[in-house]
Amino acid sequence: MRLLFIGDVIGRAGRAAILQDLPRLKSAWSLDCIIINGENAAGGFGITESICTDFLDAGADCITLGNHAFDQREALVFITRQPRLIRPLNYPSGTPGGGAALVETQKGERVLVINVLGRIFMDALDDPFAAVERELSVCPLGAACDAIVVDFHAEASSEKQAFAHVVDGRVSLVVGSHTHVPTADHQILPHGTAYMTDAGMTGDYDSVIGMDKAEPMRRFVTKLPGSRMEPAGGQATLCGVAVETDGQGLATRVAPVRLGGRLAQTWPDFWDDRNRS
């Protein structure tokens, strides 16, 4: 199975990259399942129903969120009628929406997508390790589904790496989100789980983590409250990670994706027909 995870889409620039590139990538790479982190898609804070619909119409199969899940209040309502939009699993019980979704691909394969929040340098929440274990026990890889993707939305690399080793061999992909900076540690762990500490953001990298740089620079220098943070408006780099899995749902290939904008470009050349022998 061919999976693509796209990291945190930031504002209008990030949305434009998704709408422009995703249909083409889905067809060119014969993608079976596309997951997008959309928690910053609406002006940098949260997601609206129309943006969620646009992403699904562009080819996304599932949209994950994070600590900004409900910054747009309308998400509290529409998440209850959109099963392909999920919020972190370890929010308190009673939080609207679900933390996991079982997505069926066009070929009829089932992909379990889980979104969970880390706890290091983040708000206090339920234990993400135990929360994911409960999901995996209900829907184990190879028995109840053909692939499992965990979007671990967290600040600390150590927490993401420890989590990935705990579930290594039981999950197809663990990918980090939230820091908005892509890491260079994409790999297949010893027991077959693909891993990348952070997919990076889909936004303008001439910025401070996707936001127009003037306001955060001013805040760091003066320490005084100022105006609202606004997303940077230059061309976005679409960032993510591409994974191919085998019949057991474990990873056989992993590659970072960086397309457009300012960052050095990279893509999974093993899906480029010109590179096939």
Known catalytic residues are 68
Closest CB 116 distance from Fe ion, rounded Å: 12
What is the DSSP code (8-state) at residue 172? Answer: S
What is the DSSP code (8-state) at residue 269? Answer: G
SS3 152: strand
Our CB check for Fe ion shows the closer of 105 and 207 to be 207
**CA trace torsion 240, 47, 79, 136 (10° rounding):** 30
Our CB check for Fe ion shows the closer of 71 and 133 to be 71
- Per the DSSP assignment, residues forming a β-bridge with 100 are 114
Which residues here bind Fe ion, judged by CB under 5 A?
A: 66-67, 178
Our CB check for Fe ion shows the closer of 67 and 72 to be 67
Strands (E), the chain: 2-6, 33-37, 62-64, 100-104, 110-117, 147-153, 173-177, 187-188, 194-196, 238-245, 251-259
Residues written for the chain: 277
Closest CB 125 distance from Fe ion, rounded Å: 13
Closest CB 178 distance from Fe ion, rounded Å: 4
Our CB check for Fe ion shows the closer of 118 and 268 to be 118
Closest CB 166 distance from Fe ion, rounded Å: 22
Half-sphere exposure of 62 (CA within 13 A, CB side): 29
